Amino acid sequence: MDKVDAILEKLEQDLIITSYDIAEELGIDHKTVLIHLKKARYKKLNTCVPHELTEKNLINHVLICDSPLKYNETEPFLKILITDDDKWISYDQNVRKRLWSKGKQAPETIAKPELARNK
């Protein structure tokens, strides 16, 4: 029972320690550690560890969130977005018509039509 007590003591000291680290520190086989932990009814559960953001990461988060709003000031794309059941759909009903042109002659230029305001 010496090994079991040593394994459980290591585990109580540090709950995040890996079974490989326990085996290495105690000088026993990794499989032995796993067998004793299973007999003691220990399970390795996942834990969520939040990322530590640096100052640069925080600034990037703000810039990324702010950029669509700044873009909307110059090119109002939010007016053509429709939201339905938590999905964002871009509603753009422009129909492109092609023109025939002879050889290397440049086709006639046509202005884009206004956006349709359908419901």
Q: Write out pLDDT tens, residues 47-74.
A: 555 567 788 888 988 898 888 888 888 8
State both tokens at 24.
């290495």
Q: What is the pLDDT of residue 51?
A: 65
Instruction: From 56, 83, 78, select the one nearest 68 (Cα to Cα).
Output: 78
The answer to whether the beta carbons of residues 11 and 34 sit under 8 Å apart is no
* Torsion sign across C-alpha atoms 18, 19, 22, 24: negative
> What's the whole-model pTM score?
0.39
* Torsion sign across C-alpha atoms 21, 24, 28, 29: positive
